[in-house]
Amino acid sequence: MNQNESITLQAPAKVNLRLEITGKRDDGYHELYTIFQKISLFDRITLSKTDQKGISISTDSLKIPSDSSNLAYKAADALLKHCNVQCGLSIHIKKKIPSEAGLGGGSSDAAATLTGLNRLLNLQVDEKTMLGLAVRLGADVPLFILETGTAIATGIGEKLSPVPMESPLWFLVVFPGISISTKWAYTTFSKDNLLTNQQKNITLYNSIKDSNEVKSLLYNDFERVILPAYPEIEAIKRELCDEGAVGALLSGSGSSVFGLFQSEGECEKALQSLQKDTGHQVFMARSI
């Protein structure tokens, strides 16, 4: 196959350094204030033009669909329809980001599909249009269209403000293999009357300096309902801190937990210790 008939992209994971649920809208969506951080844990997306009509999906994971319900399929379909292009396309997803883990893997795969297809077919769709297509696929998808590694998001997560991260951050991400429904997490949060109309402290940063500043930001409203329901997640947080993390937090609605470390060496040392825990997937990653 010629080089111009195929393209491969890395699709990074994200963690939420902070996540506040600030309100509920009439359409049922929740308003958020969150700080996204992309990390060096990647899926690989390969897009190839084919002679056969339509879009086909293949993957090395049994945990994600390989049909039209896959978010990458929906992304390709949306962009091709928007540009009124008929093209045979195969999408291969090599998964490394755990599914349903609060790490944005599906959203990142969808964004990589949009970006890659735009390049592969030389569609020349501008960023504003791409972001519009992305938000219709999911609230996290626009983040992965942007080249920035760190961003503050408001609205349902689609209003993004890039923030420079001045020093690299090191993370250990632990996925305990628990599937937590995002819908359940939001519903439980609302039912528990934790949602109030009081104005939360919304801060926009010109930059974020280092792990000490990030430590002061670490907060996730979902922990108020998820930690009581899943004590093993709280145990992972404690274990990460015992291994030297300056802070640990649930990412998104979980079930992944990340520990923040001050150096690569300290992170590596903790990785060696935590990898002994069978049943948990443990990943070392840095901010990107």
Catalytic residues: 14, 140
Question: Which of 264, 224, 258 has its CA nearest to residue 239?
Answer: 258
Give Cβ neighbours of residue 29 (< 8 Å, ≥ 6 apart): 139, 156
Tokens of 79: 């962009």
Question: Which of 251, 154, 246, 161 has its CA nearest to residue 205?
Answer: 161
From CA 32, how far away is CA 151, in angstroms rounded?
Answer: 13
Question: Which of 171, 173, 180, 135 has its CA nearest to residue 153?
Answer: 135
Judge if the upstream peptide bond of residue 255 is cis by omega within 30 degrees of 0.
yes
From CA 204, how far away is CA 200, in angstroms rounded?
Answer: 13
First to last CA, the chain: 31
Tokens of 32: 């958020």
- Using alpha carbons, list the distances in angstroms from residue 28 to 118, 163, 183, 231, 251: 32, 29, 11, 29, 22
